[in-house]
């Protein structure tokens, strides 16, 4: 049985070399004056088939070559919010073993209940570049807010509890909050959670700013394009998405150039003005990364098949200049 540290078969090595070269071109290098923050919904990130290429009878379909591709992408950032980490941690254990002691992670327990989908939320971080600065918290809605009489208000706790961790880069502190909004049966099912989290972020950003801290939210918000009711619910209290991330595909199923086919589920946002605006962090660049042309190139796997081996979502990232 092959293991994650073993020498690569030539076909896997060729793919990883091409993937690495594409990352070199698209993702900025880590430097003394920047911090690279990313979010990635890694589809059902759980168990692992320890074969280089999973066969038709293997379960799960995530194999070692898919995981090596995931690791190569993750390693390019300073801190990554990961959604859809599941109860089974086999793939995560192999990831941490390969990355080594210079990497760490913080995660929640699994969320119980049907809507929780046995999911965790996690931050993976490069210890040489950032370090936790003390805060780690799961966000719950105060009981009195759940008793609101407003039509359409949230009536229960978040389906998957948002997770917040503070990090320090040099003398700059930033609090990252990640979440995975309930998808629901219809789009309007997402609005109560989106509106509630936007309200919480507004109040928290104002408080954090007084301590010279920054607040950013990132994750899978299951939003639609600008101007939709979901987008308006997400940005209604002033949350701003950087122009570098506007109109970028979020999944491997979005066909470039077909704007009607795009989904804008994943976001990185913050307050750009007012008392919650960022301090000592300035956007330098941002984007997504389409790994699809660089994985499993010697196979006839469909996009859906690759989504179970790597992911259906694309990683989304922002590079900040740190003062």
pLDDT per residue as tens, the chain (323 positions)? 899 999 999 999 999 999 999 999 999 999 999 999 999 999 999 999 999 999 989 999 999 999 999 999 999 999 999 999 998 999 999 999 999 999 999 998 876 655 556 789 999 999 999 999 999 988 766 555 555 545 555 445 566 778 999 999 999 999 999 988 655 545 555 677 777 777 777 777 767 655 678 989 998 876 666 666 666 777 776 788 899 998 899 999 987 655 555 567 898 988 887 777 888 899 999 999 999 999 999 999 999 999 999 999 999 999 999 97
Which pLDDT belongs to residue 147? 54
| CA of residue 80 relative to chain centroid, distance | 6
CA 138 to chain centroid: 16
Upper half-sphere CA count for residue 86 (Cβ side, 13 Å): 12
**What pLDDT, on the 0 to 100 scale, is given for residue 137?**
87
Quote the pLDDT of residue 149: 42
Q: What is the pLDDT of residue 201?
A: 77
β-pairing, 239-240 vs 213-223, is unpaired
Give the pLDDT score at 160.
Answer: 72
pLDDT tens digits, residue range 49-90? 999 999 989 999 999 999 999 999 999 999 999 999 998 999
- Give the integer Cα–Cα distance in Å for 308 and 70: 12
pLDDT value at position 155? 47
Residue 2 located in a structural domain: no
Task: State the pLDDT at residue 242.
Answer: 92
Q: Is residue 1 part of a domain?
A: no
Kindly list the distances between the CA atom of residue 89 and the CA atoms of 1, 46, 83, 140, 209, in Å, as whole numbers in the listed order: 19, 5, 13, 25, 36
What pLDDT sits at residue 75? 98
Residue at 266 is within a domain: yes
Residue 23 falls within a domain, yes or no? yes
Task: Return the pLDDT at 235.
Answer: 73
Confirm whether 3 is domain-assigned: no
Return the structure tokens found at 201: 């972020």
In the chain, how many domains are there? 1
Range of the domain at 150: 10-322
**pLDDT at residue 211, rounded to an integer:** 65
Pairing state between β 131-138 and 119-126 = unpaired
Instruction: Determine the pLDDT at residue 105.
Output: 98
Residue 208 confidence (pLDDT): 62
Does some domain include residue 54?
A: yes
H-assigned helices in 148-235: 191-210, 229-235
What is the maximal distance between C-alpha atoms in the chain? 62
Give the pLDDT confidence score for residue 264 in this predicted structure: 78
Domain CATH code at residue 276: 3.60.10.10
């Amino acid at each position: 049985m092959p293991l994650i540290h073993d020498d690569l078969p030539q076909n896997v090595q060729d793919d990883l070399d091409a993937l690495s070269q594409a990352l070199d071109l698209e993702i900025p290098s880590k430097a003394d004056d920047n911090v690279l923050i990313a979010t990635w919904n890694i589809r059902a990130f759980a168990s692992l088939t320890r074969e280089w290429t999973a066969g038709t009878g293997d379960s799960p379909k995530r194999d070692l070559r898919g995981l090596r591709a995931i690791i190569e992408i993750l390693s390019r950032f300073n801190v990554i919010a990961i959604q859809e980490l599941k109860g089974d941690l086999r793939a995560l254990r192999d990831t941490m073993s390969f990355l080594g002691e210079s990497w760490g992670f913080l995660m929640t327990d699994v969320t119980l209940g049907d809507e929780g989908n046995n999911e965790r939320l996690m931050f993976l971080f490069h210890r040489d570049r950032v370090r936790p600065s003390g805060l780690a918290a799961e966000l719950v809605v105060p009981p009195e807010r759940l008793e609101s009489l407003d039509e359409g208000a949230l009536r229960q706790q978040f389906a998957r509890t948002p997770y917040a961790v503070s990090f320090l880069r040099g003398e700059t502190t930033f609090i990252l909050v990640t979440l995975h909004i309930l998808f629901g049966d219809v789009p309007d099912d997402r609005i109560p959670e989106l509106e509630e989290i936007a309200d919480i972020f507004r109040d928290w950003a104002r408080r954090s700013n007084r301590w010279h801290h920054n607040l950013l939210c990132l994750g899978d918000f299951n939003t639609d394009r600008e101007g939709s009711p979901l987008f308006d619910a997400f940005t209604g209290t002033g949350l701003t998405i950087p122009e570098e991330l506007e109109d970028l595909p979020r999944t491997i199923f979005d066909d470039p150039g077909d704007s009607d086919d795009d989904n804008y589920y994943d976001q990185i946002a913050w307050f750009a003005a007012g008392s919650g605006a960022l301090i000592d962090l300035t956007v330098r660049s941002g984007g997504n990364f389409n790994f699809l042309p660089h994985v499993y190139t010697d196979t006839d796997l469909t996009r859906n098949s690759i989504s179970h081996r790597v992911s259906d979502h694309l990683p989304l990232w922002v590079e900040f200049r740190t003062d």
